[in-house]
Amino acid sequence: MPFTIAIDGPAASGKGTIAKALSRRFGFHHLDTGLLYRAVGAKGGDPLETARSLTARDLQRPDLRSNEAGQAASRVAIIPEVRLALVEFQRRFAIQEPGAVLDGRDIGTVICPNADLKLYVIASDEVRARRRASEIGADPAETLAALQERDARDQERETAPLRPADNAVILDTTEMSITEAVTDAVRLVIARRKGDGKLT
């Protein structure tokens, strides 16, 4: 049975960094599900048509990490039919051997409710804005406003709103370095795999 890790949380909380590190450490596949929504938002046109015909090339656009692409993503992410069009791809990705890590907003609640481990990664607004601004070379104050606007939209939407799954482990990375956050996450995976009888 493949081992599935679901990582959710607000914008720039450290989900992606932790997901990438876990996938490398355990040899698991990794999917940044935010890229799907960013690609749909950035491509324009009818969002549902775009979601249904998304290609690997669309996910490689160089402008997908920008604040603008993030805003466009959260606008198309409100549309239930767009979300539905992307469900099957994500669920198939999640059950690959030997395991998969998916990060996003609704992985533990909607996409993989039976994931072996669910993490909900948070950090203070200021820390998240500082991290994202330096990652993409944007103004910190503008980035803070963009993150807060997007979080509110993600939390308040009716379909698959951003919230921790009931059995998610909350990881607050405000005061943590990347190494500390990853070490904590690795420990949680090892403990859960031992519980499953798989020694890591």
Smaller CB distance to ligand CDP: residue 37 or 120? 37
Q: How far is the CB of 47 from ligand CDP (least distance, A)?
A: 12
Figure out which of the listed residues 3, 6, 38, 181 binds ligand CDP, where binding follows CB under 6 A.
38
**Residue 33 lies near ligand CDP (rule: CB under 6 A):** yes
> Do the beta carbons of residue 104 and residue 34 sit within 8 Å?
yes
**Residue 4 lies near ligand CDP (rule: CB under 6 A):** no
Can you tell me whether residue 36 is helix, strand or coil? helix
Smaller CB distance to ligand CDP: residue 26 or 37? 37
Smaller CB distance to ligand CDP: residue 114 or 197? 114
Closest C-alpha among 14, 7, 11 to residue 30: 7
Which is it for strands 99-104 and 169-172: parallel, antiparallel or unpaired? unpaired
**Residue 47 lies near ligand CDP (rule: CB under 6 A):** no
Widest distance between CA atoms in the chain: 48
**Residue 154 lies near ligand CDP (rule: CB under 6 A):** yes
CA distance 187 to 200: 10
**CA-based torsion, 176, 134, 168, 112: positive or negative:** negative
Smaller CB distance to ligand CDP: residue 136 or 190? 136
User: In sequence order, which ranges of 66-136 are alpha helices (DSSP H)?
Assistant: 67-76, 80-94, 125-136
Figure out which of the listed residues 14, 34, 99, 108 binds ligand CDP, where binding follows CB under 6 A.
34
Q: What single-letter amino acid sits at 195?
A: G
Which residues in 100-119 contact ligand CDP (CB under 6 A)? 104-106
The answer to whether the bond into 140 is cis (omega within 30° of 0) is no
Closest C-alpha among 30, 189, 1, 171 to residue 95: 1
Smaller CB distance to ligand CDP: residue 166 or 197? 166
Which residues in 55-84 contact ligand CDP (CB under 6 A)? 70, 73-74, 77
List interacting residues with ligand CDP (CB under 6 A).
11-12, 16, 33-34, 37-38, 70, 73-74, 77, 104-106, 150, 154
